Protein backbone atom coordinates (compact mmCIF):
# COMPACT_ATOMS: atom_id res chain seq x y z
CA UNK A 1 0.00 0.00 0.00
CA UNK A 2 1.19 3.55 -0.71
CA UNK A 3 2.11 5.90 2.13
CA UNK A 4 -0.01 8.90 1.17
CA UNK A 5 -3.81 8.65 1.12
CA UNK A 6 -5.82 8.27 -2.07
CA UNK A 7 -7.80 11.50 -2.44
CA UNK A 8 -11.32 10.62 -3.62
CA UNK A 9 -14.00 13.15 -4.65
CA UNK A 10 -17.52 11.74 -4.34
CA UNK A 11 -19.80 13.87 -6.53
CA UNK A 12 -23.40 13.85 -5.24
CA UNK A 13 -24.67 13.51 -1.68
CA UNK A 14 -27.85 11.44 -2.17
CA UNK A 15 -28.34 7.93 -0.80
CA UNK A 16 -25.60 6.50 -3.07
CA UNK A 17 -22.97 9.15 -2.20
CA UNK A 18 -23.74 9.11 1.52
CA UNK A 19 -23.70 5.29 1.76
CA UNK A 20 -20.45 5.11 -0.19
CA UNK A 21 -18.85 7.78 2.00
CA UNK A 22 -19.69 5.66 5.07
CA UNK A 23 -18.23 2.56 3.42
CA UNK A 24 -14.93 4.34 2.64
CA UNK A 25 -14.44 6.73 5.56
CA UNK A 26 -12.66 4.29 7.89
CA UNK A 27 -10.22 2.92 5.32
CA UNK A 28 -6.83 4.30 6.44
CA UNK A 29 -5.34 4.85 2.97
CA UNK A 30 -8.45 6.59 1.60
CA UNK A 31 -9.32 10.25 2.04
CA UNK A 32 -12.83 11.22 0.90
CA UNK A 33 -14.71 14.45 0.30
CA UNK A 34 -18.38 14.62 -0.77
CA UNK A 35 -19.59 17.44 -3.06
CA UNK A 36 -23.32 18.14 -3.35
CA UNK A 37 -24.76 20.68 -5.81
CA UNK A 38 -27.79 21.61 -3.67
CA UNK A 39 -27.43 24.24 -0.94
CA UNK A 40 -28.19 21.49 1.60
CA UNK A 41 -27.82 17.73 1.57
CA UNK A 42 -31.45 16.62 1.24
CA UNK A 43 -33.74 13.87 -0.06
CA UNK A 44 -37.06 14.49 -1.76
CA UNK A 45 -39.88 11.94 -1.81
CA UNK A 46 -41.52 9.98 0.92
CA UNK A 47 -40.33 6.50 1.71
CA UNK A 48 -37.74 4.03 0.61
CA UNK A 49 -38.15 0.32 1.25
CA UNK A 50 -35.03 -1.65 2.12
CA UNK A 51 -35.60 -5.34 1.50
CA UNK A 52 -33.87 -7.93 3.67
CA UNK A 53 -31.30 -8.29 0.85
CA UNK A 54 -30.60 -4.54 0.86
CA UNK A 55 -30.28 -4.67 4.67
CA UNK A 56 -27.73 -7.49 4.36
CA UNK A 57 -25.54 -5.50 1.97
CA UNK A 58 -25.87 -2.35 4.08
CA UNK A 59 -24.62 -4.28 7.10
CA UNK A 60 -21.60 -5.48 5.09
CA UNK A 61 -20.89 -1.98 3.74
CA UNK A 62 -21.28 -0.11 7.03
CA UNK A 63 -20.66 -1.80 10.40
CA UNK A 64 -22.99 0.65 12.22
CA UNK A 65 -25.86 0.03 9.76
CA UNK A 66 -28.26 -1.32 12.38
CA UNK A 67 -27.79 1.76 14.53
CA UNK A 68 -28.24 4.08 11.53
CA UNK A 69 -31.49 2.36 10.51
CA UNK A 70 -32.84 2.44 14.01
CA UNK A 71 -32.05 6.16 14.46
CA UNK A 72 -33.67 6.83 11.07
CA UNK A 73 -36.92 5.35 12.46
CA UNK A 74 -37.03 2.34 10.10
CA UNK A 75 -40.29 0.43 10.53
CA UNK A 76 -40.61 -3.31 9.77
CA UNK A 77 -43.26 -3.94 7.16
CA UNK A 78 -45.59 -6.92 6.85
CA UNK A 79 -45.57 -8.68 3.49
CA UNK A 80 -46.64 -6.83 0.35
CA UNK A 81 -49.89 -8.24 -0.97
CA UNK A 82 -50.51 -8.25 -4.72
CA UNK A 83 -54.14 -8.47 -5.83
CA UNK A 84 -56.06 -8.20 -9.09
CA UNK A 85 -57.46 -4.67 -9.48
CA UNK A 86 -59.46 -4.76 -12.71
CA UNK A 87 -61.91 -7.03 -14.55
CA UNK A 88 -64.05 -9.94 -13.31
CA UNK A 89 -61.39 -11.27 -10.91
CA UNK A 90 -60.85 -7.94 -9.15
CA UNK A 91 -60.07 -8.53 -5.47
CA UNK A 92 -58.43 -11.97 -5.94
CA UNK A 93 -55.10 -12.31 -4.11
CA UNK A 94 -52.17 -13.08 -6.45
CA UNK A 95 -49.43 -13.55 -3.86
CA UNK A 96 -47.74 -12.14 -0.77
CA UNK A 97 -44.16 -10.96 -1.26
CA UNK A 98 -41.43 -10.57 1.36
CA UNK A 99 -42.52 -13.27 3.79
CA UNK A 100 -39.18 -15.06 3.82
CA UNK A 101 -36.22 -13.80 5.81
CA UNK A 102 -36.16 -10.57 7.79
CA UNK A 103 -38.99 -8.13 7.18
CA UNK A 104 -38.54 -5.27 4.74
CA UNK A 105 -38.00 -1.89 6.37
CA UNK A 106 -39.83 1.29 5.38
CA UNK A 107 -37.83 4.43 6.04
CA UNK A 108 -38.45 8.10 5.51
CA UNK A 109 -35.85 9.11 2.91
CA UNK A 110 -34.82 12.34 4.58
CA UNK A 111 -34.29 10.54 7.91
CA UNK A 112 -32.12 7.86 6.32
CA UNK A 113 -29.95 10.45 4.58
CA UNK A 114 -29.70 12.51 7.78
CA UNK A 115 -28.45 9.50 9.75
CA UNK A 116 -25.99 8.41 7.04
CA UNK A 117 -24.52 11.92 6.99
CA UNK A 118 -24.47 12.28 10.77
CA UNK A 119 -21.73 9.66 11.10
CA UNK A 120 -19.39 11.57 8.74
CA UNK A 121 -17.06 14.38 9.83
CA UNK A 122 -18.62 17.74 8.89
CA UNK A 123 -15.47 18.91 7.13
CA UNK A 124 -15.75 16.25 4.40
CA UNK A 125 -19.26 17.37 3.39
CA UNK A 126 -19.45 20.28 0.94
CA UNK A 127 -22.85 21.67 -0.13
CA UNK A 128 -23.45 24.17 -2.98
CA UNK A 129 -20.67 22.53 -5.01
CA UNK A 130 -21.97 21.70 -8.48
CA UNK A 131 -19.49 19.79 -10.59
CA UNK A 132 -18.58 21.69 -13.76
CA UNK A 133 -15.78 19.60 -15.29
CA UNK A 134 -13.33 16.77 -14.78
CA UNK A 135 -10.00 16.91 -16.60
CA UNK A 136 -6.69 15.08 -16.39
CA UNK A 137 -4.08 17.17 -14.56
CA UNK A 138 -0.31 16.70 -14.18
CA UNK A 139 1.26 13.51 -12.73
CA UNK A 140 -1.93 11.44 -12.99
CA UNK A 141 -3.92 13.84 -10.83
CA UNK A 142 -7.54 14.66 -11.74
CA UNK A 143 -8.54 18.31 -11.85
CA UNK A 144 -12.13 18.84 -10.71
CA UNK A 145 -13.81 22.22 -11.26
CA UNK A 146 -17.04 23.41 -9.62
CA UNK A 147 -19.50 25.96 -10.95
CA UNK A 148 -18.66 28.42 -8.15
CA UNK A 149 -15.16 28.71 -9.63
CA UNK A 150 -13.43 26.56 -7.02
CA UNK A 151 -11.24 23.60 -7.99
CA UNK A 152 -9.74 20.52 -6.39
CA UNK A 153 -7.16 17.90 -7.23
CA UNK A 154 -7.89 14.22 -6.64
CA UNK A 155 -6.55 10.76 -7.36
CA UNK A 156 -10.03 9.39 -8.05
CA UNK A 157 -13.54 10.71 -8.74
CA UNK A 158 -16.72 8.73 -8.05
CA UNK A 159 -19.93 10.03 -9.62
CA UNK A 160 -22.96 9.53 -7.37
CA UNK A 161 -24.73 12.39 -9.11
CA UNK A 162 -27.94 10.65 -10.15
CA UNK A 163 -29.67 9.57 -13.35
CA UNK A 164 -28.65 12.63 -15.41
CA UNK A 165 -25.26 13.08 -13.76
CA UNK A 166 -22.27 14.74 -15.43
CA UNK A 167 -19.74 12.16 -14.28
CA UNK A 168 -21.56 9.53 -16.36
CA UNK A 169 -20.93 11.66 -19.47
CA UNK A 170 -17.24 11.85 -18.63
CA UNK A 171 -16.99 8.07 -18.04
CA UNK A 172 -18.79 7.23 -21.29
CA UNK A 173 -16.49 9.43 -23.36
CA UNK A 174 -17.26 10.14 -26.99
CA UNK A 175 -20.94 9.40 -27.34
CA UNK A 176 -22.61 9.62 -23.92
CA UNK A 177 -26.01 10.57 -25.42
CA UNK A 178 -26.28 7.09 -26.93
CA UNK A 179 -26.44 5.71 -23.40
CA UNK A 180 -28.57 8.38 -21.70
CA UNK A 181 -31.59 7.40 -19.65
CA UNK A 182 -34.78 7.12 -21.72
CA UNK A 183 -38.49 6.46 -21.07
CA UNK A 184 -39.20 2.96 -19.74
CA UNK A 185 -42.83 2.91 -20.91
CA UNK A 186 -44.65 3.79 -17.67
CA UNK A 187 -45.69 6.85 -15.69
CA UNK A 188 -46.64 7.20 -12.05
CA UNK A 189 -48.25 9.68 -9.73
CA UNK A 190 -47.95 9.73 -5.95
CA UNK A 191 -49.70 11.48 -3.08
CA UNK A 192 -49.25 11.32 0.68
CA UNK A 193 -52.64 11.25 2.38
CA UNK A 194 -53.56 11.33 6.10
CA UNK A 195 -54.09 7.79 7.40
CA UNK A 196 -57.70 8.24 8.56
CA UNK A 197 -58.72 9.79 5.28
CA UNK A 198 -57.15 6.97 3.21
CA UNK A 199 -58.82 4.39 5.45
CA UNK A 200 -62.23 6.06 5.05
CA UNK A 201 -61.91 6.34 1.26
CA UNK A 202 -60.27 2.99 0.42
CA UNK A 203 -61.94 0.78 3.05
CA UNK A 204 -61.08 -0.38 6.60
CA UNK A 205 -60.27 -3.93 5.47
CA UNK A 206 -57.02 -2.75 3.87
CA UNK A 207 -55.77 -1.22 7.10
CA UNK A 208 -56.35 -4.12 9.53
CA UNK A 209 -52.58 -4.79 9.52
CA UNK A 210 -49.67 -2.61 8.36
CA UNK A 211 -49.21 -3.94 4.89
CA UNK A 212 -48.39 -2.68 1.41
CA UNK A 213 -51.10 -3.43 -1.16
CA UNK A 214 -50.34 -3.56 -4.89
CA UNK A 215 -53.23 -3.84 -7.34
CA UNK A 216 -52.30 -5.40 -10.66
CA UNK A 217 -54.43 -5.05 -13.77
CA UNK A 218 -55.40 -3.77 -17.16
CA UNK A 219 -52.74 -1.30 -18.38
CA UNK A 220 -52.13 0.08 -14.88
CA UNK A 221 -51.12 -0.52 -11.26
CA UNK A 222 -52.30 0.94 -7.96
CA UNK A 223 -50.42 0.83 -4.65
CA UNK A 224 -50.93 2.05 -1.10
CA UNK A 225 -48.75 1.64 1.95
CA UNK A 226 -48.65 2.96 5.47
CA UNK A 227 -45.92 5.35 6.59
CA UNK A 228 -44.77 7.46 9.50
CA UNK A 229 -46.18 5.54 12.44
CA UNK A 230 -49.56 5.08 10.83
CA UNK A 231 -50.16 8.76 10.32
CA UNK A 232 -49.78 8.86 6.53
CA UNK A 233 -50.54 6.62 3.56
CA UNK A 234 -48.56 6.72 0.33
CA UNK A 235 -50.93 6.39 -2.66
CA UNK A 236 -49.67 5.58 -6.16
CA UNK A 237 -51.26 5.20 -9.57
CA UNK A 238 -48.98 3.94 -12.36
CA UNK A 239 -49.84 3.13 -15.93
CA UNK A 240 -48.42 2.16 -19.29
CA UNK A 241 -47.15 5.19 -21.19
CA UNK A 242 -47.62 4.74 -24.92
CA UNK A 243 -46.09 7.86 -26.44
CA UNK A 244 -43.67 9.27 -23.89
CA UNK A 245 -42.14 12.66 -24.54
CA UNK A 246 -38.35 12.64 -24.74
CA UNK A 247 -38.15 16.12 -23.30
CA UNK A 248 -40.98 16.65 -20.79
CA UNK A 249 -41.12 14.05 -18.02
CA UNK A 250 -44.40 15.20 -16.47
CA UNK A 251 -47.97 15.55 -17.67
CA UNK A 252 -51.06 16.95 -15.91
CA UNK A 253 -53.66 14.52 -14.53
CA UNK A 254 -57.41 15.15 -14.52
CA UNK A 255 -60.39 13.07 -13.41
CA UNK A 256 -61.24 12.50 -17.09
CA UNK A 257 -57.73 11.26 -17.96
CA UNK A 258 -57.62 8.96 -14.91
CA UNK A 259 -61.13 7.60 -15.60
CA UNK A 260 -59.97 6.84 -19.12
CA UNK A 261 -56.71 5.17 -18.01
CA UNK A 262 -58.53 3.08 -15.38
CA UNK A 263 -61.72 2.53 -17.43
CA UNK A 264 -61.84 -1.24 -16.87
CA UNK A 265 -60.99 -0.81 -13.16
CA UNK A 266 -63.88 1.43 -12.16
CA UNK A 267 -66.23 -1.41 -11.13
CA UNK A 268 -63.49 -2.97 -8.96
CA UNK A 269 -62.71 -2.34 -5.28
CA UNK A 270 -59.91 0.23 -5.48
CA UNK A 271 -59.76 2.53 -8.52
CA UNK A 272 -62.49 5.07 -7.75
CA UNK A 273 -61.19 5.75 -4.25
CA UNK A 274 -57.60 5.94 -5.41
CA UNK A 275 -58.48 8.43 -8.16
CA UNK A 276 -60.07 10.66 -5.49
CA UNK A 277 -56.94 10.41 -3.31
CA UNK A 278 -54.47 11.09 -6.15
CA UNK A 279 -56.48 14.14 -7.26
CA UNK A 280 -56.55 15.42 -3.66
CA UNK A 281 -53.38 17.49 -4.13
CA UNK A 282 -52.45 20.74 -5.77
CA UNK A 283 -51.66 20.37 -9.44
CA UNK A 284 -51.56 16.55 -9.79
CA UNK A 285 -49.12 15.24 -12.40
CA UNK A 286 -47.96 11.91 -13.79
CA UNK A 287 -44.18 11.46 -14.03
CA UNK A 288 -42.58 9.40 -16.76
CA UNK A 289 -40.31 6.59 -15.48
CA UNK A 290 -36.88 6.54 -17.13
CA UNK A 291 -34.09 4.01 -16.90
CA UNK A 292 -30.68 3.19 -18.39
CA UNK A 293 -31.15 0.61 -21.15
CA UNK A 294 -27.45 -0.10 -21.54
CA UNK A 295 -24.18 1.23 -20.21
CA UNK A 296 -20.90 0.05 -21.78
CA UNK A 297 -18.81 0.72 -18.66
CA UNK A 298 -19.05 2.11 -15.13
CA UNK A 299 -15.35 3.10 -15.07
CA UNK A 300 -12.91 5.13 -17.10
CA UNK A 301 -9.43 5.06 -15.54
CA UNK A 302 -9.59 6.81 -12.16
CA UNK A 303 -13.24 7.92 -12.59
CA UNK A 304 -16.26 5.71 -11.95
CA UNK A 305 -20.01 5.97 -11.41
CA UNK A 306 -22.31 4.42 -8.79
CA UNK A 307 -26.02 4.46 -7.87
CA UNK A 308 -28.50 5.99 -10.31
CA UNK A 309 -25.63 7.65 -12.20
CA UNK A 310 -24.57 4.15 -13.29
CA UNK A 311 -27.81 2.15 -13.30
CA UNK A 312 -31.11 4.00 -12.89
CA UNK A 313 -33.98 1.52 -12.85
CA UNK A 314 -37.77 1.64 -12.76
CA UNK A 315 -39.34 1.26 -9.30
CA UNK A 316 -41.21 -2.00 -10.11
CA UNK A 317 -38.82 -4.21 -8.15
CA UNK A 318 -37.94 -1.53 -5.58
CA UNK A 319 -34.18 -2.06 -5.62
CA UNK A 320 -32.56 1.14 -6.96
CA UNK A 321 -31.26 2.16 -3.55
CA UNK A 322 -30.47 -1.52 -2.92
CA UNK A 323 -28.11 -1.51 -5.93
CA UNK A 324 -26.46 1.71 -4.73
CA UNK A 325 -25.83 0.03 -1.35
CA UNK A 326 -24.30 -3.00 -3.08
CA UNK A 327 -22.02 -0.61 -5.04
CA UNK A 328 -20.82 0.86 -1.75
CA UNK A 329 -20.29 -2.61 -0.29
CA UNK A 330 -18.13 -3.70 -3.25
CA UNK A 331 -16.11 -0.46 -3.53
CA UNK A 332 -15.48 -0.52 0.22
CA UNK A 333 -14.34 -4.14 0.00
CA UNK A 334 -12.06 -3.47 -2.99
CA UNK A 335 -10.43 -0.39 -1.45
CA UNK A 336 -9.82 -2.32 1.77
CA UNK A 337 -7.84 -4.76 -0.38
CA UNK A 338 -6.05 -2.36 -2.73
CA UNK A 339 -4.77 1.17 -3.24
CA UNK A 340 -4.70 0.86 -7.05
CA UNK A 341 -7.54 3.08 -8.17
CA UNK A 342 -7.75 2.05 -11.84
CA UNK A 343 -7.70 -1.67 -10.93
CA UNK A 344 -10.36 -1.18 -8.22
CA UNK A 345 -12.67 0.65 -10.64
CA UNK A 346 -12.10 -1.90 -13.42
CA UNK A 347 -12.94 -4.77 -11.07
CA UNK A 348 -15.96 -2.82 -9.77
CA UNK A 349 -17.27 -2.37 -13.32
CA UNK A 350 -16.75 -6.01 -14.23
CA UNK A 351 -18.49 -7.43 -11.19
CA UNK A 352 -21.31 -4.93 -10.77
CA UNK A 353 -22.47 -4.15 -14.33
CA UNK A 354 -23.87 -7.60 -15.27
CA UNK A 355 -25.93 -7.78 -12.06
CA UNK A 356 -27.25 -4.23 -12.31
CA UNK A 357 -28.16 -4.51 -16.01
CA UNK A 358 -30.01 -7.76 -15.32
CA UNK A 359 -32.03 -6.13 -12.54
CA UNK A 360 -32.83 -3.03 -14.67
CA UNK A 361 -34.29 -5.25 -17.43
CA UNK A 362 -36.06 -7.51 -14.96
CA UNK A 363 -37.69 -4.49 -13.31
CA UNK A 364 -38.98 -3.12 -16.62
CA UNK A 365 -40.34 -6.59 -17.53
CA UNK A 366 -41.97 -6.82 -14.11
CA UNK A 367 -43.71 -3.50 -14.88
CA UNK A 368 -45.12 -5.04 -18.07
CA UNK A 369 -46.53 -8.02 -16.16
CA UNK A 370 -47.91 -5.91 -13.32
CA UNK A 371 -49.63 -3.60 -15.83
CA UNK A 372 -51.22 -6.56 -17.58
CA UNK A 373 -49.16 -6.27 -20.78
CA UNK A 374 -46.66 -9.07 -20.10
CA UNK A 375 -46.22 -11.36 -23.09
CA UNK A 376 -47.99 -14.70 -22.51
CA UNK A 377 -49.29 -13.47 -19.14
CA UNK A 378 -51.86 -10.86 -20.05
CA UNK A 379 -54.53 -10.61 -17.37
CA UNK A 380 -54.59 -14.30 -16.43
CA UNK A 381 -54.61 -14.86 -12.64
CA UNK A 382 -52.67 -18.15 -12.69
CA UNK A 383 -50.07 -16.69 -15.03
CA UNK A 384 -49.68 -13.64 -12.78
CA UNK A 385 -48.86 -16.05 -9.93
CA UNK A 386 -46.45 -18.19 -11.97
CA UNK A 387 -44.60 -15.29 -13.57
CA UNK A 388 -44.36 -12.80 -10.70
CA UNK A 389 -43.20 -15.00 -7.82
CA UNK A 390 -39.75 -15.88 -9.29
CA UNK A 391 -38.88 -12.36 -10.42
CA UNK A 392 -37.45 -11.30 -7.06
CA UNK A 393 -35.30 -14.42 -6.94
CA UNK A 394 -32.56 -12.91 -9.14
CA UNK A 395 -32.24 -10.05 -6.66
CA UNK A 396 -32.46 -12.01 -3.43
CA UNK A 397 -30.53 -15.18 -4.28
CA UNK A 398 -27.18 -13.37 -4.31
CA UNK A 399 -24.39 -14.66 -2.07
CA UNK A 400 -22.60 -11.46 -1.03
CA UNK A 401 -19.48 -13.22 0.12
CA UNK A 402 -19.15 -14.83 -3.33
CA UNK A 403 -19.85 -11.44 -4.98
CA UNK A 404 -16.99 -9.89 -2.99
CA UNK A 405 -14.67 -12.79 -3.81
CA UNK A 406 -15.50 -12.45 -7.50
CA UNK A 407 -14.60 -8.75 -7.24
CA UNK A 408 -11.31 -9.72 -5.57
CA UNK A 409 -10.42 -12.13 -8.41
CA UNK A 410 -11.14 -9.40 -10.96
CA UNK A 411 -9.04 -6.98 -8.90
CA UNK A 412 -6.07 -9.37 -8.93
CA UNK A 413 -6.33 -9.77 -12.70
CA UNK A 414 -6.56 -5.99 -13.18
CA UNK A 415 -3.67 -5.11 -10.81
* Residues 173 and 305 sit within 8 Å (Cβ to Cβ): no
Q: Is 160 in the site for ligand FAD (CB under 6 A)?
A: yes
Cα–chain-centroid distance for residue 36? 18
Q: Is 321 in the site for ligand FAD (CB under 6 A)?
A: yes
Residue closest to 344 by CA, chosen among 331, 326, 353: 331
Q: Is 162 in the site for ligand FAD (CB under 6 A)?
A: yes
Of the candidate spans 9-17, 198-206, 264-272, 364-372, the one that interacts with ligand FAD by CB under 6 A turns out to be: 9-17
Q: Is 11 in the site for ligand FAD (CB under 6 A)?
A: yes
- Sequence-separated contacts (24+) of 26-33 with Cβ below 8 Å: 27/332, 27/335, 27/336, 29/1, 29/2, 29/5, 29/335, 29/339, 30/5, 30/6, 30/335, 31/5, 31/6, 31/7, 32/8, 32/124, 33/7, 33/8, 33/9, 33/124, 33/126, 33/152
Q: Is 166 in the site for ligand FAD (CB under 6 A)?
A: yes
Q: CB nearer to ligand FAD: give 57 or 338.
A: 57
Residue closest to 281 by CA, chosen among 361, 369, 394, 190: 190
Of the candidate spans 75-83, 245-253, 303-311, 389-397, the one that interacts with ligand FAD by CB under 6 A turns out to be: 303-311
Q: Please pick, from the candidates 62, 82, 116, 131, the single residue that binds ligand FAD as defined by CB under 6 A.
A: 131
Of the candidate spans 86-94, 256-264, 271-279, 313-321, the one that interacts with ligand FAD by CB under 6 A turns out to be: 313-321
Q: Is 161 in the site for ligand FAD (CB under 6 A)?
A: yes
Q: Please pick, from the candidates 85, 165, 273, 367, the single residue that binds ligand FAD as defined by CB under 6 A.
A: 165
Helix axes 15-24, 52-61, angle to 10 degrees: 40
Site for ligand FAD in 348-407 (CB under 6 A): none
Q: CB nearer to ligand FAD: give 94 or 324.
A: 324
Q: Is 14 in the site for ligand FAD (CB under 6 A)?
A: yes
Q: Which residues bind ligand FAD (CB under 6 A)?
A: 11-17, 35-38, 48-49, 54, 130-131, 160-162, 165-166, 307-309, 315, 318-322, 324
Amino acid sequence: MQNSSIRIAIIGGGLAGATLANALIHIPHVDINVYESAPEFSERGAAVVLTSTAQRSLARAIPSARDILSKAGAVPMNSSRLLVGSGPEAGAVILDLGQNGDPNLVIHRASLLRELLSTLPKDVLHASKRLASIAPGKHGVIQVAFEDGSEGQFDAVIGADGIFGNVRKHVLGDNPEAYSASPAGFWDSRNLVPYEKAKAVLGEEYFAIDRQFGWVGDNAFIMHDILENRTMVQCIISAVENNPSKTDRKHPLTRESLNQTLGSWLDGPIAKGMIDLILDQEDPHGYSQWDHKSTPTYANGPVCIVGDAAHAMTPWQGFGAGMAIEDAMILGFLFRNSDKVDAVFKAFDEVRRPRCEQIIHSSRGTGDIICGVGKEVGLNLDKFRESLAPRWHIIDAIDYEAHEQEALSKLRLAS
